[in-house]
Structure 1
């Protein structure tokens, strides 16, 4: 998720084939080509909540608007470059991780235009399992973490407590926070969202103490009772200098963006993407089908779409 002022899952520059993460563009809907509204390429970052957005958007575009959809996995910074150049058409979940590119492409060049609020509010923080908070009530305040750091020691963290992280491509403020708050912790990366979830679930099942970089919305929060550790409160501008950060993370209304040329040439699809807006719970429902129930993204989208016509029918352009 992310960083700049507000944390977000931003990533290393590069793109990989969506099939590597179980995401693939399904075949176009078997409908008549008459009235077709062309093709849309959606940039998808590497976490399952964003995959859920793309899966549902793809399903509806293909089955309701006869629009072929290509999904391409792109980290946040690269996604803006791709939409600017026309190699991609839409970003459905931006955590405000690259504000300089928003300023360049949206405000200055106007090659990208805002497509509205996704309806989901993102938040990053440090979380511990509730059973640990119940045992040590004062552990939920970051100023007391050194008192309990030994509980979090692992082979990877040495003589410090481990702060479990996800993918190395996720931008975080955690190393700066540890240093500036003088905490006896060390960031240790699981390698991916899936690997982090596996580690969290194993620790939780064994009732082991752990502390992890974590975020909402996240489908796993429906299964595990996690408690956020209180970092110093976020205030606007408190994270403007990454080296001096001592505050926690903001709550960020996630945004959508589309290419300006695409919006002119494919008005129906563009309007649909602008109208696409759902809740944290709805995103978690589809994400859980994909990550927990191991459904294909297309099947998860189909299942949700069939059960929620009253939600998505309002997204279709008039």
Structure 2
């Protein structure tokens, strides 16, 4: 699992759709004008649901409140990050609730065409990095400095890493500069994709239980961080602009205040729904609670959202239009 500012810039649109089998969003009459399909003319709100569970938690709670407190119908569409920006501009969807930073799309749709507008902070700060298990870092403290990773490449080899140390990745859909970082820092590593957040979590849990050495692309907030102890590997310090050219990145990922974005017509004419989504703001702790209910407690997204909303009525009340 783009910046923020740690730019969640996509590897390619092809990797997005092919890697996850995501549904491309076809244009319609609203596509040319940027007019939202639901803004001002419908009681149906359409939200994009990204493939990672933290973002799913946002959508679940927002949808529950929209439907049960404000009497809207909510549709969700799972799609890749860049595809979601295109759909938002066209009005095929009304809002993105967790964006990790897409400067090219912001320039195109926010600054130039003005079909997308800011929806405010989500209230959660995200961070991407490289992590190793604490038990391994305790045994080899120097492994937490990237300069020493080549020393441990043999211990990180897998059948999929082609003789190099494996850097475990999640979905090809997620923003990552890791291939460039590996090349530009001359590291004896290879990125290997689990295919999804769930598959990556399974591999982390299996390795952790067996106390195997491993190196993984990972992020916060994430509910799994409360169950496994991971230590971040120190990469060269992030400085503004060091990730401007994706091919030349040789620095750490920044801390990124996660953002919401709305279709411009929906923001203007979407009434209470648009006002609510602008007001929607919670903490990483809240997000992790809902995400854990979905993944570990095996509740449906709706059940998890209902449970959280009923336990946090004061917070929800603050989101509702006055």
TM (norm. structure 2) is 0.89
What do the CA deviations read for 1:209-257 (whole angstroms, capped 9, x no partner)?
Answer: 0000000111100111111000001000011122221101011100001
The gaps in structure 1 that reach 5 residues or longer are 18-35
Q: What is the CA–CA distance in structure 1 between the aligned matches of 2:56 and 2:169, rounded to whole Å?
A: 20
Q: What is the CA–CA distance in structure 1 between the aligned matches of 2:42 and 2:287, rounded to whole Å?
A: 26
Q: What is the CA–CA distance in structure 2 between the aligned matches of 1:37 and 1:49, rounded to whole Å?
A: 28
How do 1:104-253 residues align onto structure 2 when only pairs under 5 Å count? 104-253=108-257
Q: What is the CA–CA distance in structure 2 between the aligned matches of 1:7 and 1:227, rounded to whole Å?
A: 22
Q: What is the CA–CA distance in structure 2 between the aligned matches of 1:117 and 1:173, rounded to whole Å?
A: 24
Shift of 1:291: 1.4
Q: What is the CA–CA distance in structure 2 between the aligned matches of 1:129 and 1:117, rounded to whole Å?
A: 31
Map of 1:99 onto structure 2 = 103
- In 2, are the aligned partners of 1:4 and 1:240 still within 8 Å (CA)? no
- In 1, are the aligned partners of 2:4 and 2:255 still within 8 Å (CA)? no
| Count of residues in correspondence between the two structures | 299
The gaps in structure 2 that reach 5 residues or longer are 25-40
Shift of 1:283: 0.5
Map of 2:95 onto structure 1 = 90
Shift of 1:147: 1.1
Q: What is the CA–CA distance in structure 2 between the aligned matches of 1:234 and 1:312, rounded to whole Å?
A: 36
Map of 1:60 onto structure 2 = 65
What do the CA deviations read for 1:64-101 (whole angstroms, capped 9, x no partner)?
Answer: 000110011121111111111111100000111x2121
Aligned CA distance change for structure 1 residues 4 and 288 (closer, same or farther; 3 Å): closer
Task: State the SS of the aligned residue for 1:246.
Answer: coil
Map of 2:6 onto structure 1 = 6
- In 1, are the aligned partners of 2:3 and 2:103 still within 8 Å (CA)? no
Map of 1:292 onto structure 2 = 296
Aligned CA distance change for structure 1 residues 181 and 188 (closer, same or farther; 3 Å): same
- In 1, are the aligned partners of 2:169 and 2:192 still within 8 Å (CA)? yes
What do the CA deviations read for 1:85-134 (whole angstroms, capped 9, x no partner)?
Answer: 111100000111x2121112112222111110000111100001100110
Q: What is the CA–CA distance in structure 2 between the aligned matches of 1:104 and 1:175, rounded to whole Å?
A: 26
Q: What is the CA–CA distance in structure 1 between the aligned matches of 2:150 and 2:70, rounded to whole Å?
A: 56
Q: What is the CA–CA distance in structure 1 between the aligned matches of 2:43 and 2:285, rounded to whole Å?
A: 31
Map of 1:48 onto structure 2 = 53
Superposition RMSD on alpha carbons, in Å? Answer: 1.8
